[in-house]
Amino acid sequence: MSTSAVHDHEVAHHDDHGHEHHHDQSFLSKYVFSMDHKMIAKQFLITGITMAVIAMILSILFRIQLAYPDKTFPLLTTLLGRFAPNGRISPDFYLALVTIHGTIMVFFVLTAGLSGTFANLLIPLQVGARDMASPFMNMLSYWFFFLASVIMLSSFFVQKGPASGGWTIYPPLSALPKAMPGSAEGMTLWLVSMVLFVASSLMGGINYVSTVLNMRTKGMDLWKMPLTIWALFLTAILGILAFPVLVAGVVLLIFDRSVGTSFYLSDIVLNGVQQPFEGGSPILFQHLFWFLGHPEVYIVIMPAMGISSEVMSVNSRKPIFGYHAMVYSLIGITVLSFIVWGHHMFVTGMNPFLGGVFMITTLIIAVPSAVKTFNWLATLWRGNIRFTPAMLFAIGMVSFFISGGLTGIFLGNAALDINLHDTYFVVAHFHLVMGSAAIFGMLAGVYHWFPKMFGRMMDEKLGYLHFWLTFICAYLVFFPMHFMGLDGVPRRYYAFTEFASMSKWLTINTFVTWAAIIAALSQFGFLYNFFVSMFKGEKATQNPWESNTLEWTTPVEHLHGNWPGEIPTVYRWPYDYSKPGAEEDYIPQTVPYSQTMSSNLPHDFEDNPAGLEALNKYASTLKANEQVK
């Protein structure tokens, strides 16, 4: 791959921004309508955290129902009013809770909160750019996301409550406003919110891709980019290609709801009344939805993979093992993720041959995933591992990715999926692989780049406590669910004790709920640590983790434009850790090879014959000196 940084542009851009930090900014322009990518990253993070806390509370509410299906809690009526009459959550509101929990976690936390935060923070800083390609569009991206969040949450205040057809909002349930309370105004708000959300994602994604392609600093060719950037770059491409299909699907759904079209509807009798819909197919929506929905899984997990790779390399003091293989596996996952969506539809009644094809593509995607896992293990092998909270969360991410990824092999197998589809086995699988793993990747990123974002350090001990409580509880919550699924317990059941055969899981469900509550409470420890450290944490040094990447060459105090004066030039890849012959166990990307002759290797000069010649000359000088001695 050739170097393609647009240096001329950068020079001009630098001139534009060089003094920008001296400009007086009002509170509004600095903190609210900021166009600085670092501030936008913080906005995404804090909004994402807020949404995560809300989604977490929703999950605790429905977990209480699952743990105590026969008990009443008067407090619930006080808090939720008509949604929890007689001290119990109503069945309809239960479905609304699982729907909004899923929607918020998948889209608002793990997509916008994760990609929005780290793509905004890291892309310009790690590729060596003053800001995003279009700072204004970047700001709009955040505000569309914020608006989408507000609209999604406002659905709790409409008469019939929020959408409740599951986060996948399959029609006809979502297309017939009278089908259930959650199909009414709440569903309309869900759809409107999602359109705004996708607009936000597209504006963000286009910015990320154009910044990576056009605004890399001198020397930063594609093979010198950190894995975080590769992951965020490919994630943005996934989003740009997949999200518009969801919007198309959603717009057709709005037509079916409001204009009387029949894209997804046919032969419907609702409450004994024949509906005038003919010729549509609900399965069409599922094809459109999952064309986004499955890449969405990777939109969520790939940034976590990139962040974890970076954090593990820094804290193992080792180069990430198989950098090229890591990049190729990310590319492989990106491409394959577009042709696996049908595995979500094995039991919809689609053509079985097509199901077989999707099974093949689905299982193939496990190969690049396996390569990544083994490479992470090899990165740890013979490392000198520092247990920062970020490192622990990155390790947790790998552990969850292994556990959850392996159960994906069951679900990707169409024959096995017949019995496991829509059971707790699926819930366990995706909560480990794209819930817990992705959240852990996100938390690893927060702990690692907190000094970069806020100029202060987070408390390590609280971080340790946060990690172990969350890590252990996440396994306690999701591991038993596999067995419930293997017993055929369907997901999203309000009261599984209605069935004698399922009642035996009551004790496990109570246990799981309490594990979930402890996990949730431990997040408040994190919130305390996060917000207190933001103002009162120990002041950070410029490069607290002794890392090689470019973001740690910027001053601790933020300035719009990132670097005072010239943007540094990059000379080497980002993973020169513990190189034999080097004085320190890390060599930043900005250090030229001419300054580290004692640690240079022949392959450092593969594209640089002059450098290789200099290395040979240096080696022969050393040899001559030894002979003299």
Partner 1 sequence: MGFRKLINSKKLLSFFAAFMLLGTNLLMAQTEAGGAAAGQAEAPKVDWTGVAYYVLIFFLICLGVAIVGKILKVYDLTLKMQGKKGLNWNTVMATICIVFLVAGLYGAYWSFTEQGSMTLPEAASEHGVKIDEMFTVTTILTMIVFFITQILLFTFLFRYRHSDKRRAHFLPHNNTIEKVWTIIPAIVLTILVVFGFFTWQKIMNSENLKEDINIDVTGHQFAWELRYPGKDGVLGPKDYTLVTGTNNLGVNFKKKASFDDLRVDTMYIPVNKSIRLNILAQDVIHSVYMPYFRVQLNAVPGLPTFFKFVPTITTAQMRSKLDDPKFEYTLYCNKICGGSHYNMQKVVRVVTEAEYQTWLSRQKPYLNDALRKELHFASANEQSNGSTNRLALNN
- Per-residue exposure over 597-623, b if at least 16 CB sit within 10 Å of its own CB, e if not: eebbeeebbeeeeebbebbeeeeeeee
Q: Which stretch binds partner 1 (CB under 8 A): 13-21, 54-62, 91-99, 110-118?
A: 91-99
270 binds partner 1 (CB under 8 A): yes
Residue 371, CA atoms < 13 Å, CB-side half-sphere: 16
Q: Which stretch binds partner 1 (CB under 8 A): 131-139, 300-308, 459-467, 540-548?
A: 459-467
The residue from 11, 12, 32, 418 that contacts partner 1 (CB under 8 A) is 418
The answer to whether 200 and 148 have CB atoms below 8 angstroms apart is: yes
Q: Which stretch binds partner 1 (CB under 8 A): 3-11, 112-120, 275-283, 450-458?
A: 275-283
The residue from 355, 537, 588, 611 that contacts partner 1 (CB under 8 A) is 355
Q: How far is the CB of 153 from partner 1 (least distance, A)?
A: 21
Alpha carbon of residue 381 to chain centroid: 27
Sequence-separated (6 or more) residues with CB below 8 Å from residue 361: 336, 339, 340
Alpha carbon of residue 31 to chain centroid: 24
Token couple for 292: 């986004």
The residue from 12, 150, 251, 415 that contacts partner 1 (CB under 8 A) is 415
DSSP category for residue 488:
T
Q: How far is the CB of 253 from partner 1 (least distance, A)?
A: 14
Q: How far is the CB of 304 from partner 1 (least distance, A)?
A: 16
503 binds partner 1 (CB under 8 A): no
Residue 425, CA atoms < 13 Å, CB-side half-sphere: 21
- Identity of residue 459: D
Residues within window 197-236 making contact with partner 1, judged by CB under 8 A: none
In the bound state with partner 1, the residue whose beta carbon lies nearer, of 211 and 373, is 373
The residue from 325, 556, 597, 612 that contacts partner 1 (CB under 8 A) is 325
Q: Which stretch binds partner 1 (CB under 8 A): 2-10, 67-75, 303-311, 537-545?
A: 67-75
Q: How far is the CB of 61 from partner 1 (least distance, A)?
A: 13
Angle between helices 227-258 and 117-127 (to 10 degrees): 140
Residues within window 35-64 making contact with partner 1, judged by CB under 8 A: none
CA distances from residue 545 to 7, 312, 316, 456 in whole angstroms, order as listed: 29, 12, 11, 13
Q: Which stretch binds partner 1 (CB under 8 A): 23-31, 54-62, 147-155, 480-488?
A: 480-488
The residue from 200, 375, 529, 554 that contacts partner 1 (CB under 8 A) is 375
In the bound state with partner 1, the residue whose beta carbon lies nearer, of 92 and 221, is 92
Q: How far is the CB of 429 from partner 1 (least distance, A)?
A: 12
CA distances from residue 431 to 166, 295, 405, 410, 425 in whole angstroms, order as listed: 15, 16, 11, 15, 10
Residues within window 249-268 making contact with partner 1, judged by CB under 8 A: 265-268
Q: How far is the CB of 247 from partner 1 (least distance, A)?
A: 22
The residue from 486, 520, 612, 614 that contacts partner 1 (CB under 8 A) is 486
Token couple for 125: 């800083």
Q: Which stretch binds partner 1 (CB under 8 A): 66-74, 108-116, 124-132, 220-228?
A: 66-74
Distance in angstroms (rounded) separating the CA atoms of residues 399 and 433: 9
Angle between helices 135-154 and 37-67 (to 10 degrees): 20
CA distances from residue 200 to 74, 107, 131, 236 in whole angstroms, order as listed: 40, 11, 18, 12
Round to the nearest angstrom and report the end-to-end CA distance of the chain.
Answer: 44
Q: How far is the CB of 2 from partner 1 (least distance, A)?
A: 21
Residues within window 535-594 making contact with partner 1, judged by CB under 8 A: 575, 577-580, 585
In the bound state with partner 1, the residue whose beta carbon lies nearer, of 139 and 265, is 265
- Judged by CB under 8 A, the number of residues near partner 1 is 132
The residue from 82, 382, 617, 623 that contacts partner 1 (CB under 8 A) is 382
Q: How far is the CB of 433 from partner 1 (least distance, A)?
A: 13
Q: How far is the CB of 274 from partner 1 (least distance, A)?
A: 6
Distance in angstroms (rounded) separating the CA atoms of residues 322 and 579: 16
